[in-house]
Copies of this chain bind each other. A is one copy, B any other.
Amino acid sequence: MNFTAKQIAELVQGTIEGNPDAIVNDVSKIEEGKPQTLTFLANPKYTKYIYTTKASVVIVNDSFKAEQPLTTTLIKVPDAYLALAALLDMYEQSLPKKTGIEQPAFIDKTATIGDFVYIGAFSYIGEKAKIGKNVQIYPQAYIGDNVEIKDNSIIYPGVKIYKHCKIGENCIIHAGAIIGGDGFGFAPDANKNYKKIPQVGNVIIEDHVEIGANTTIDRATMGSTIVRKGAKLDNLIQVAHNVEVGEKTVIAAQTGIAGSTKIGKECMFGGQVGVSGHIHVADKTRVAAQTGIAGTIKKEATALMGSPAMNVMQFNKSFVIFRRLPELSAQIDELKREIQNLKSE
């Protein structure tokens, strides 16, 4: 399907610089741009490619000013990344959507199934489960007893949701994610045998949450492990029992959050971060990849790095010296010698 630059500019309410009749029929990355494709420029790291890209049309921020001649047509918008999101979204919405129940599927007769759902083959819907309208459950998913999934959510293949957990509206849960496995709780007896603490709570995922592939979110010992509205979790993340992840908090892959910790809202976590149990992390905290947060962070909007975590500026200052430690050590030795000399004068 062909679109002109002019048509796209109308869709994203942008202004054109260049040829309004330039035609595109696919998307591409700016550094691999091909003729008759649309691309975008949002990350300044890629600015250099705009002068050489073969893409016919590039969506850019209003603030972009070309420093060399351009052969491509620009569409200027306030936020190129958001405009791209909107365009790709229109594209996705235009694709045919699976509906209906593929056979064989296992749907307990006490389950409630909303209108316009898709339930893929080999999926399992347990007793008294409630599946909302327009929900898409891909093949081989497991929806345990009494689980509730609200309208418009997407459950990708092989997701497992243990009993009693609740998934909000417009959520996306990627393949292999495990929601509601037992929290890791054991009480050592006198012989150091670990006795399991049954985990009788659940997991609550609020609306507009996205959970990445193979991420695990454990059920609470009592009460609920909660992921608040609009939070986004990447792949292979561990969320332990009784944790709470705040609204609109974004967590990159392979991060782990230990039991009963509360993460504030609008935080941003890099990948492979670790957070100790039973602590609080203030709203808007920003955490560099591989950081280890060992204690409560009280001050909002702190930026952390290192393991154990420090303020990112402090960490960088210390780390600069860490790189120079052999030199420092040599300087100390030299000072010792000089002082010996002075003393023996």
Residues on A lying within 8 angstroms of B by beta carbon are 27-29, 32, 39, 43, 45, 79, 81-82, 84-86, 88-89, 91-92, 102, 104, 106, 120-122, 124, 138-140, 142, 144, 156-158, 160, 162, 172, 174-176, 178, 181-182, 184, 186-187, 189, 192-198, 200, 208, 210, 212-214, 216, 218, 220-223, 230, 232, 234-236, 238, 240, 242, 248, 250, 252-254, 256, 258, 266, 271-272, 274, 276, 278, 289-290, 292, 294, 307-308, 310, 314, 317-326, 328-329, 331-332, 335-336, 338-339, 342-343
Contact = CB atoms under 8 A, between A and B. Distances in A.
A225 to B, nearest CB: 11
B175 A250 contact: no
Nearest to A29: B223
A102 B254 CA distance: 35
A243 B88 CA distance: 20
B289 A274 contact: yes
Contacts of A195: 82, 85-86, 89
A194 B271 contact: no
A73 to B, nearest CB: 18
A8 B47 CA distance: 61
Identical copies of this chain, number? 3
A42 to B, nearest CB: 8
Contact of A198 (B88, B175, B328): B88
Given A323-B310, A342-B339, A194 B230 contact: yes
A36 to B, nearest CB: 14
7 contacts: A28-B223, A184-B235, A194-B250, A240-B253, A253-B256, A308-B319, A310-B323
Given A186-B232, A272-B272, A321-B328, A192 B88 contact: no
A38 B70 CA distance: 68
Nearest to A343: B342
A229 to B, nearest CB: 9
Contact of A181 (B82, B175, B184, B329): B175
B322 A322 contact: yes
Contacts of A253: 184, 216, 238, 240, 256, 258
Given A122-B140, A124-B120, A200-B27, A235 B235 contact: no
B92 A200 contact: yes
A326 B233 CA distance: 36
Contacts of A192: 248, 266
A307 B325 contact: no
A79 B197 CA distance: 13
A194 B234 CA distance: 13
B176 A88 contact: no
